[in-house]
Protein backbone atom coordinates (compact mmCIF):
# COMPACT_ATOMS: atom_id res chain seq x y z
CA UNK A 1 0.00 0.00 0.00
CA UNK A 2 1.38 3.39 -0.99
CA UNK A 3 1.54 6.18 1.50
CA UNK A 4 -0.23 9.32 0.49
CA UNK A 5 1.25 12.65 1.34
CA UNK A 6 -1.60 13.27 3.77
CA UNK A 7 -0.61 10.10 5.69
CA UNK A 8 2.89 11.39 6.40
CA UNK A 9 3.56 13.28 9.61
CA UNK A 10 4.10 16.96 9.07
CA UNK A 11 7.71 17.99 9.55
CA UNK A 12 8.89 21.56 9.64
CA UNK A 13 12.00 21.83 7.60
CA UNK A 14 14.61 24.48 7.39
CA UNK A 15 13.49 25.33 3.88
CA UNK A 16 9.91 25.89 5.02
CA UNK A 17 11.04 28.31 7.70
CA UNK A 18 13.30 30.31 5.40
CA UNK A 19 13.04 30.72 1.65
CA UNK A 20 15.31 28.58 -0.47
CA UNK A 21 18.56 30.25 -1.44
CA UNK A 22 17.74 29.94 -5.13
CA UNK A 23 14.39 31.61 -4.50
CA UNK A 24 16.01 34.44 -2.54
CA UNK A 25 18.49 35.17 -5.30
CA UNK A 26 15.87 34.77 -8.03
CA UNK A 27 13.44 37.14 -6.36
CA UNK A 28 16.19 39.70 -5.69
CA UNK A 29 17.31 39.49 -9.34
CA UNK A 30 13.73 39.95 -10.55
CA UNK A 31 13.33 43.01 -8.34
CA UNK A 32 16.56 44.50 -9.71
CA UNK A 33 15.50 43.84 -13.31
CA UNK A 34 12.07 45.38 -12.68
CA UNK A 35 13.70 48.48 -11.20
CA UNK A 36 15.93 48.71 -14.26
CA UNK A 37 12.93 48.40 -16.58
CA UNK A 38 11.05 51.11 -14.66
CA UNK A 39 14.01 53.51 -14.63
CA UNK A 40 16.37 52.57 -17.48
CA UNK A 41 18.44 55.76 -17.27
CA UNK A 42 18.85 55.89 -13.49
CA UNK A 43 22.34 55.31 -12.06
CA UNK A 44 23.02 51.84 -10.65
CA UNK A 45 23.66 53.23 -7.15
CA UNK A 46 20.25 54.92 -7.12
CA UNK A 47 18.50 51.77 -8.39
CA UNK A 48 20.24 49.70 -5.72
CA UNK A 49 18.92 52.02 -3.00
CA UNK A 50 15.40 51.82 -4.45
CA UNK A 51 15.60 48.01 -4.54
CA UNK A 52 16.81 47.94 -0.95
CA UNK A 53 13.92 50.14 0.19
CA UNK A 54 11.35 48.03 -1.64
CA UNK A 55 12.69 44.54 -0.92
CA UNK A 56 10.47 42.05 0.86
CA UNK A 57 11.70 41.61 4.49
CA UNK A 58 11.40 37.82 4.13
CA UNK A 59 14.07 37.99 1.43
CA UNK A 60 16.18 40.74 2.95
CA UNK A 61 17.36 38.85 6.03
CA UNK A 62 18.59 35.68 4.28
CA UNK A 63 20.13 37.81 1.53
CA UNK A 64 21.97 39.96 4.09
CA UNK A 65 23.29 36.86 5.81
CA UNK A 66 24.45 35.32 2.54
CA UNK A 67 26.15 38.50 1.39
CA UNK A 68 27.90 39.04 4.71
CA UNK A 69 29.07 35.42 4.78
CA UNK A 70 30.29 35.74 1.20
CA UNK A 71 32.18 38.93 2.11
CA UNK A 72 33.92 37.24 5.04
CA UNK A 73 34.73 34.12 2.99
CA UNK A 74 36.31 36.20 0.22
CA UNK A 75 38.25 38.30 2.74
CA UNK A 76 39.56 35.25 4.61
CA UNK A 77 40.50 33.41 1.41
CA UNK A 78 42.33 36.46 0.08
CA UNK A 79 44.25 36.84 3.33
CA UNK A 80 45.16 33.14 3.40
CA UNK A 81 46.24 33.31 -0.24
CA UNK A 82 48.39 36.35 0.54
CA UNK A 83 49.98 34.62 3.53
CA UNK A 84 50.57 31.38 1.63
CA UNK A 85 52.12 33.22 -1.29
CA UNK A 86 54.39 35.18 1.01
CA UNK A 87 55.39 31.98 2.82
CA UNK A 88 56.16 30.16 -0.43
CA UNK A 89 58.16 33.03 -1.89
CA UNK A 90 60.15 34.01 1.18
CA UNK A 91 63.02 32.05 2.62
CA UNK A 92 63.49 33.15 6.21
CA UNK A 93 67.18 33.79 6.52
CA UNK A 94 68.11 36.00 9.46
CA UNK A 95 68.92 39.41 8.05
CA UNK A 96 67.73 38.49 4.56
CA UNK A 97 63.96 38.26 5.03
CA UNK A 98 63.15 40.29 1.90
CA UNK A 99 64.98 37.94 -0.46
CA UNK A 100 62.86 35.40 -2.36
CA UNK A 101 63.54 31.67 -2.39
CA UNK A 102 64.19 31.77 -6.12
CA UNK A 103 66.34 34.44 -7.75
CA UNK A 104 65.81 35.59 -11.32
CA UNK A 105 69.41 36.16 -12.40
CA UNK A 106 68.67 37.17 -15.97
CA UNK A 107 65.70 38.28 -18.00
CA UNK A 108 65.76 35.18 -20.20
CA UNK A 109 67.49 32.48 -18.16
CA UNK A 110 65.94 30.15 -15.61
CA UNK A 111 65.75 31.30 -11.98
CA UNK A 112 68.11 29.85 -9.38
CA UNK A 113 67.28 28.81 -5.83
CA UNK A 114 68.75 31.25 -3.34
CA UNK A 115 70.43 28.55 -1.29
CA UNK A 116 72.12 27.15 -4.42
CA UNK A 117 73.18 30.55 -5.78
CA UNK A 118 76.87 31.29 -6.23
CA UNK A 119 78.61 34.66 -6.01
CA UNK A 120 78.18 35.31 -9.74
CA UNK A 121 74.46 34.54 -9.45
CA UNK A 122 74.07 37.01 -6.57
CA UNK A 123 76.04 39.62 -8.48
CA UNK A 124 73.72 39.16 -11.49
CA UNK A 125 70.64 39.33 -9.24
CA UNK A 126 71.87 42.57 -7.63
CA UNK A 127 72.52 44.03 -11.07
CA UNK A 128 69.02 43.01 -12.22
CA UNK A 129 67.44 44.54 -9.10
CA UNK A 130 69.49 47.72 -9.45
CA UNK A 131 68.40 48.11 -13.06
CA UNK A 132 64.75 47.79 -12.02
CA UNK A 133 65.03 49.98 -8.93
CA UNK A 134 67.12 52.88 -10.24
CA UNK A 135 65.24 55.56 -8.33
CA UNK A 136 65.99 54.23 -4.83
CA UNK A 137 67.55 51.34 -2.99
CA UNK A 138 64.87 49.16 -1.52
CA UNK A 139 65.32 46.63 1.27
CA UNK A 140 65.49 43.70 -1.14
CA UNK A 141 68.40 45.27 -3.02
CA UNK A 142 70.18 46.23 0.20
CA UNK A 143 69.86 42.68 1.55
CA UNK A 144 70.96 41.15 -1.77
CA UNK A 145 74.05 43.39 -1.79
CA UNK A 146 74.83 42.47 1.83
CA UNK A 147 74.58 38.75 1.00
CA UNK A 148 76.67 39.30 -2.15
CA UNK A 149 79.38 41.04 -0.08
CA UNK A 150 79.33 38.19 2.44
CA UNK A 151 79.65 35.72 -0.45
CA UNK A 152 82.52 37.70 -2.01
CA UNK A 153 84.77 37.03 0.98
CA UNK A 154 84.32 33.27 0.67
CA UNK A 155 84.21 33.16 -3.15
CA UNK A 156 87.70 34.64 -3.40
CA UNK A 157 89.09 31.68 -1.41
CA UNK A 158 86.71 29.02 -2.70
CA UNK A 159 85.23 29.66 -6.17
CA UNK A 160 81.80 28.08 -6.78
CA UNK A 161 80.74 28.18 -3.12
CA UNK A 162 76.97 28.45 -2.63
CA UNK A 163 74.88 30.51 -0.23
CA UNK A 164 74.04 27.34 1.72
CA UNK A 165 77.73 26.55 2.20
CA UNK A 166 78.55 30.11 3.25
CA UNK A 167 75.74 30.11 5.80
CA UNK A 168 76.97 26.82 7.21
CA UNK A 169 80.52 28.20 7.49
CA UNK A 170 79.20 31.36 9.15
CA UNK A 171 77.29 29.29 11.73
CA UNK A 172 80.42 27.46 12.86
Cβ-contact 154, 166 below 8 angstroms? yes
Tell me, what's the pLDDT at 9? 43
Query: Which band of pLDDT confidence, cut at 50, 70 and 90, is reported for residue 13?
Result: very low
Q: Which residue has the higher pLDDT, 29 or 139?
A: 29
Q: What's the average model confidence in pLDDT over 86-112?
A: 75
Per-residue pLDDT band for 134 (boundaries 50, 70, 90) equals low
More confident residue, 141 or 85: 141
- Please say if the pLDDT value at position 5 is more than 80: no
pLDDT of residue 90: 52
Q: Cβ-count burial of 103 within 10 angstroms (0-12 exposed, 13-18 middle, 19+ buried)? A: buried
Q: Which residues on adjacent β-strands are paired with residue 135?
A: none
Indicate the domain borders of the chain. 17-89, 102-171
The neighbour count for residue 37, using CB atoms within 10 Å, is 8
Sign of the dihedral through C-alpha 122, 124, 126, 128: negative
Backbone φ and ψ of 27, nearest 5°: -65, -40
Task: Check residue 77 and give its pLDDT.
Answer: 92
pLDDT at 4 over 70: no
The answer for residues whose C-beta is within 8 angstroms of residue 140's C-beta and 6 or more apart is: 98, 99, 129
What is the pLDDT at residue 88? 60
Which of 68-72, 84-88, 147-151 comes out lowest in average pLDDT?
Answer: 84-88
Q: What is the pLDDT of residue 33?
A: 92
Read off the pLDDT of each residue in 130-140 and give the average, rounded to a whole number. Answer: 71
The reported pLDDT for the residue numbered 109 is 81
| Section 149-156 average pLDDT | 88
Instruction: Band the pLDDT of 87: cuts 50, 70, 90.
Output: low
The H helix count followed by the E strand count for the chain is 7, 2
Q: What is the pLDDT of residue 43?
A: 93
Amino acid sequence: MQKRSSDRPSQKSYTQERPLLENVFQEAREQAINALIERPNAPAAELAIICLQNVDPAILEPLKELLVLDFFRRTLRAERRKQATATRQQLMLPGFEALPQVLPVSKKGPPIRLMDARYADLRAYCWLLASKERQKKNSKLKQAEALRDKMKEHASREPGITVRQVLLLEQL
